[in-house]
Structure 1
Amino acid sequence: MERLINIDNGGTLTDIVVGSGTDFTFTKTLTTPADLSQCLFDGLAKASTTIYGQEDLPSLLHSTRHIRYSSTQGTNALVQGKGPGIGLITDDPNLVAELRKDPEASRLFDDLIGERVSLLPVDGDEDSRARLLVTEINRLTTAGAERLVVAAVDLDREKLYKRAMLKNFPRHLLGSVPVLFSWDFTSDTLRSRRIWSGIINSFLHPTVERFLYSAEHRLRSYKVKNPLLIYRNDGASSRVAKSVALKTYSSGPRGGLEGTRALADAYGLKHVLMIDVGGTTTDVGSVLNSEISTDRRGSVKGVPISYEMSNVHSKGIGGSSVIAVQNGEITVGPDSVGAAPGPACFGFGGRQATITDVNLLLGVLDPATYLNGELKLDAERARAVITSTVAEPLGISLDEALILMERTYAEQMASAFSGTIQDADTTTLAAFGGGGPMSACLAARIAGVRHVLIPRLAAVFSAFGISFSDISQTYEIDITGASAAQIDEARVEMEGRAARDMFQEGHTINECDLDWTLVIENADGSLARESLFDETTTPQITDGQLALLSLKCTYALPHPTLPGNHEQSKSKAVAAGTRSVRSSADLVDQIPVYQLEEQAPGATAAGPAIVEGPFFTTRVPAGWVLDISAAGDLLLSDSQ
């Protein structure tokens, strides 16, 4: 069986999972912000060494069917407000108020657009409007607009503006500015949702475009024929040239959710809350009765968009989030030190404190085994930074600062998911990512959750979850009031588009599954109902509703299976040693350290303890019990 490679690029670390059937090899590497394609190839080279016993990247690449790539760069860019200035051009004087209809939308509008708005007149001949358009483009770009979104009241006017732009700012000139036309971007009929989708996409586009095409170029240098696939936030994958930037937003968490659903099925769990803790964010999602919580029309930072998204929310708290003192209080995030310079203990020049520095000084992390011993941590640098930025400003000792920082961090993590708990007794917290296992039990106890599951692949679990994706494209057409003949024409047109797109993906439409759906939307854009569609279906709608025909075209890829758990005879977990871990400002405990990979299924122990897995460390507080499942996963229960 050919290999499938999954890559999840985070703000601090990049995860690589190489799978073939039930055999998985995985590794992590530091993200390289200056050239994100570099960490991709660094990680692949490391994986090839594990597989072949020596570095052999060409052999790995040529034995691989597809590389699927996910990135948190877009999510991180919006969380931290780092991206291009967007200019908005419209001829509707009411549009800005419509886009700023609530506090969340107003904040996002101010962050992305601000005062860079141009209002064009609706009167005048075509030449005069074109001249004014050129003047306004120059004004907006001078004001800092690096990309433009055009949102006219109707399609004909947008076509007029498009002609004028191409004539006066041809794309081959250095002075051209990327422009997105709202009517071209999506078929969504709800105006505010369609325009917001264009604005956010324009903000995200340059964040992901450069390194994706750089990665494709480097793959071609190895004569790799299969294209790089982008993993999307709807759970499917497509090649770079057939993807839009907006669908990469929160795509990594969708991979985690797909893996979480597989865990829920394997262990027979009713409700599983996912917390994926990366370097910059904690992403939270839900799987209830084996169903991923998904919105047909998703939202970004509380603003509705035109595309489907898993219902994941992100909070700016991660392993590299800055812990600081503001107005006499400890704060966590949303700023992150990322991979460069990284936490102070990385030794790359970081001058701000993070939870990684805290856990090193508490004794939770072993400076010699972090990242499987590939990165030696510097306790002295961490001590100096925490002393100067937290302990001294608060007038407390270093040890007091460490306990207070850990507690604040756990409270912030708990606040990220506590609002999504339906029944604490039937909820399991699935914690993964590089930072999830370290603080999961502390946060769960604060939130009242008594069960935590740490998968054996926790450090790369979102990358592993990408294994459940297929190559897919989705299309939608408004058929409100259409006759049977017109609906047939729409079906032929959509199937033709699907055939062309899947041919560009390298597959014929005869190899794909076609799923037709009738979607009824209310006048406000909300979903009324949806059902399967065939030739005999007649749309039934009331006044103000819209009937939409949707087609999902899918080429299936192989998926893994999880072994789950079954009854195991209990045995005492075998400790590899002990470690000094600070449990309060004036108390240091000697607690056992267990190597997850060395424990037999059914092994059990009581906290306090440390469990070290591949590329992750779990802190098991007093009152918690740990059990090793048949699959080698870590099951934790709060006995207090």
Structure 2
Amino acid sequence: MGTLINIDNGGTLTDICVWDGNAFTFTKTLTTPHDLSECLFTGIEKASDALYGEADITRLLHATEHIRYSTTQGTNALVERRGPMIGILTTIGGLDAGMKRGAAEKKLFTGLVGDRFLTVDPEADLEFDAVQKINRLTTLGAARVVVAAATPEEERQLRHVLLRKFPRHLLGSVPLIYSWELAGDRDDARRAWSCVVNAFLHPTMERFLYSAERRLQAYKVVNPLLVYRNDGASSRVAKSVALKTYSSGPRGGLEGTAALARVYGLPHALMMDIGGTTTDVGVVEGGAVAVADRGGIEGVHISYPMSDVTSSGVGGSSVIQVVDSEITVGPQSVGAAPGPACFGFGGKQATITDVNLLLGVLDPDTYLDGTFTLDPSRSQAVITETIARPLGISLEEALIRMEHAYFQALSASFAPLVTEDTTLLAFGGAGPMSATGAARLAGVKQVLVPRTAAVFSAFGISFSDIGKTYEVIVAEPTTEAATETHDALLVRAERDMFQEGYALADCETSWQLLVENLEDGSVSRLPYQPGDEVDYPGSVVSLQLNAAAPLSHPDLTADAVVTATAAPAAGTRQVRSAADHVDDVPVHVLDDLSPGDGGEGPAIIEGPFFTARVLPGWSFRLTAAGDLLLNDKS
């Protein structure tokens, strides 16, 4: 088996996790927003140095069987509304009302579409009216237009008209996205929303993925770059839909969570992945990732299945500021450029990274394993200017209040999902630092911090295969129509998997019949084989095919009972626990600990590329697999 490189590109940091068939090697590097392919290759070069003892990017790339790439860029772009203005042209009466049923839909509609929504007049000349309204949408600022009709046939008629009047080869032509081409979903609002979000994400994803692929070609890499998707599978860049890259990093975290839940026998595992811009939360129950049949993006339903992940604008680089005399956290983020004030890149807004530096939780000289030095004076200046002075309080009091506000914001992101037997898996750059504080507010008694916490989403990508998922509406709910759909879908899957480099006959496939009751909207999932009887009047029937070409997955060390011993301390650190109190806190280095080593909070544990904080009342121990298990004894 060749080497597998797994990459998770975040708003502030990019994580690289390499599996060579025996062990993981991982590293981190700052994300470069001006050219995302730059941080990708810097990370691969750093990984080669860690793996071989010297930087040799060519050697690593040529030894690699697959490079799987995930990114939060789409998620972050949507959170911060950085993308093209979208217009909608439709023949469906009342579609705008259907797309704005609730507060979440109204908010997203305002942010992405606004007043750029026009309906073709059914009484007017179709060709004239459609052309006039496309022109009107572009005048209103639409850079991409979603075309949605009630039926595929009607949409094809519109497509024929618009392609003649707006040929693609003209300079300045606006891309037109047709709803039935993207999603075979009879629900008009879901289908239109899928196209709107896809159109919004597409330019961001396309730009840097093809840039990265071109740079790989310069190294004469034979195997194509694979994009990791939010359904847990991977595919070539050219065969990927932008919408399926949304929240793909968190899906990697969920797959890693599921792997550790099986190792530790956790009945209800809750992931908390704190990146630079967002905190992503998801559930693994009984060792399986929770998946919604119709995914949700910012509370808006789309046509595709998605892992049930919620993203909130609370991250390590989220801006902490005073609004109406209250301290607020996010959703605005300083990202990697300029980054937190302590990075020294010109940041003028406070973040939790600045707070933890001044509290003493972070050591300015050991950040990112000593590869990056933080500047406390910049953090002090920014927090004094933006928080302490506006509130009329001391710097020390400001730090304590900011930390509490951050714990509250984190806790609110996952508290509704907590059960009696919940174990919180805390990872991402800021996860281990804030886990015990947020967990206590949410009533969680056990926290697991993986040794790979700093790159855990990239670690989770290690468990993915190359795959495709298809869902097509059967023209009518009959046996003959289902068989025809099956045969057409089989041809399509054979073509797509061949383009991925695999014969469909060598892939794992599963077929399901999805029967949606028109009266109550309930969906039944039934196994399907060609020729099975299909007779469901009053229902919409769809055929779903999952095809996967399995890749090698890493073997994880099983948990085992180990003798409890006192964890050796490498030193102490002064950490502020109140405005007028500083504790002398022991510091433990994770790589110097042995399985069974443990202790009581307060304590700080320096892991590879992360710092974990153990608050008073919590205990910790190193497991047989090298992970940190923390328990609230209060």
TM-score normalised by the chain length of structure 2: 0.98
Deviation of 1:524 after TM superposition, in Å, equals 6.9
Greater shift in the superposed pair: 560-569 or 258-267:
560-569
Counterparts of 2:519 and 2:466, CA distance in 1: 32
Name which of 498, 509, 513 aligns with 2:508: 513
Deviation of 1:483 after TM superposition, in Å, equals 4.0
The 8 Å contact of residues 418 and 443 in structure 2, kept in 1 or not, is answered as no
The amino acid across from 2:228 in the alignment is Y
The 8 Å contact of residues 66 and 226 in structure 2, kept in 1 or not, is answered as yes
Alignment-derived partner of residue 300 in structure 1: 297
The amino acid across from 2:526 in the alignment is S
1:548 aligns with 2:542: yes
Counterparts of 1:337 and 1:284, CA distance in 2: 21
Alignment-derived partner of residue 392 in structure 1: 389
The amino acid across from 2:133 in the alignment is E
Deviations along 1:588-622, whole A, 9 cap, x unmatched? Answer: 11110000011010001111000000000011011
Counterparts of 2:531 and 2:88, CA distance in 1: 44
Deviations along 1:264-306, whole A, 9 cap, x unmatched? Answer: 1101111110000000000000011112111111111111111
Greater shift in the superposed pair: 376-385 or 158-167:
158-167
The 8 Å contact of residues 35 and 211 in structure 1, kept in 2 or not, is answered as yes
CA-atom RMSD in angstroms = 1.3
Alignment-derived partner of residue 274 in structure 1: 271
Alignment-derived partner of residue 11 in structure 2: 11
Greater shift in the superposed pair: 385-394 or 550-559:
550-559
Name which of 600, 624, 629 aligns with 2:594: 600
Deviation of 1:526 after TM superposition, in Å, equals 4.3
The 8 Å contact of residues 473 and 552 in structure 1, kept in 2 or not, is answered as yes
Counterparts of 1:503 and 1:18, CA distance in 2: 26
Task: Report 1:134-153 matches (<5 A).
Answer: 134-153=131-150
Alignment-derived partner of residue 572 in structure 1: 566
The 8 Å contact of residues 190 and 525 in structure 1, kept in 2 or not, is answered as no
Deviation of 1:142 after TM superposition, in Å, equals 2.1
Name which of 608, 614, 618 aligns with 1:620: 614
Counterparts of 1:524 and 1:625, CA distance in 2: 53
Alignment-derived partner of residue 533 in structure 1: 528
Task: Report 1:460-479 matches (<5 A).
Answer: 460-479=455-474
Alignment-derived partner of residue 366 in structure 2: 369
3-state secondary structure, aligned to 1:370: coil
Deviation of 1:476 after TM superposition, in Å, equals 2.1
Counterparts of 1:372 and 1:281, CA distance in 2: 23
The amino acid across from 1:587 in the alignment is H
Deviation of 1:527 after TM superposition, in Å, equals 4.2
Alignment-derived partner of residue 288 in structure 2: 291
1:65 aligns with 2:62: no
Task: Report 1:240-251 matches (<5 A).
Answer: 240-251=237-248
Deviation of 1:566 after TM superposition, in Å, equals 0.5
3-state secondary structure, aligned to 2:215: helix
The 8 Å contact of residues 169 and 175 in structure 1, kept in 2 or not, is answered as no
Alignment-derived partner of residue 324 in structure 2: 327
Alignment-derived partner of residue 355 in structure 1: 352
Deviation of 1:536 after TM superposition, in Å, equals 5.4
The 8 Å contact of residues 274 and 284 in structure 1, kept in 2 or not, is answered as yes
The 8 Å contact of residues 145 and 174 in structure 2, kept in 1 or not, is answered as yes
Aligned length: 634
Deviation of 1:560 after TM superposition, in Å, equals 1.3
Q: Residues 39 and 298 (structure 1 numbering): CA distance in 2 closer, same or farther, change over 3 Å?
A: same
Q: Residues 638 and 561 (structure 1 numbering): CA distance in 2 closer, same or farther, change over 3 Å?
A: same
The 8 Å contact of residues 232 and 251 in structure 2, kept in 1 or not, is answered as yes
Counterparts of 1:66 and 1:49, CA distance in 2: 19
Counterparts of 2:302 and 2:68, CA distance in 1: 24
Deviation of 1:131 after TM superposition, in Å, equals 3.2
Counterparts of 2:356 and 2:143, CA distance in 1: 41
Counterparts of 1:238 and 1:526, CA distance in 2: 32
1:39 aligns with 2:36: no
3-state secondary structure, aligned to 1:247: helix
The 8 Å contact of residues 594 and 612 in structure 1, kept in 2 or not, is answered as yes
- Among all aligned residue pairs of Structure 1 and Structure 2, give the percentage whose two residues are the same amino acid: 56
Deviations along 1:335-380, whole A, 9 cap, x unmatched? Answer: 0000000000000000000000000000000000000111100000
Alignment-derived partner of residue 562 in structure 1: 556
Alignment-derived partner of residue 314 in structure 1: 311
The amino acid across from 1:318 in the alignment is G
Task: Report 1:136-215 matches (<5 A).
Answer: 136-215=133-212
Counterparts of 1:133 and 1:489, CA distance in 2: 34
The amino acid across from 2:138 in the alignment is T
The 8 Å contact of residues 338 and 346 in structure 2, kept in 1 or not, is answered as yes
Deviations along 1:471-527, whole A, 9 cap, x unmatched? Answer: 111122323644434332222211110110001001111211111111111227844
Greater shift in the superposed pair: 579-588 or 290-299:
290-299
3-state secondary structure, aligned to 2:369: helix
Q: Residues 527 and 246 (structure 1 numbering): CA distance in 2 closer, same or farther, change over 3 Å?
A: farther
Counterparts of 2:150 and 2:526, CA distance in 1: 32
Structure 1 stretches of 4+ moved >6 Å: none
Greater shift in the superposed pair: 248-257 or 529-538:
529-538
The amino acid across from 1:317 in the alignment is V
Q: Residues 143 and 124 (structure 1 numbering): CA distance in 2 closer, same or farther, change over 3 Å?
A: closer
Counterparts of 2:102 and 2:480, CA distance in 1: 42
Greater shift in the superposed pair: 468-477 or 621-630:
468-477
Greater shift in the superposed pair: 531-540 or 504-513:
531-540
Alignment-derived partner of residue 627 in structure 2: 633
TM-score normalised by the chain length of structure 1: 0.97
In structure 2, stretches of 5+ residues that fail to align are none
Deviation of 1:104 after TM superposition, in Å, equals 1.2
Deviation of 1:540 after TM superposition, in Å, equals 4.7
Deviations along 1:190-218, whole A, 9 cap, x unmatched? Answer: 21111111111111111211000111111
The 8 Å contact of residues 565 and 596 in structure 2, kept in 1 or not, is answered as yes
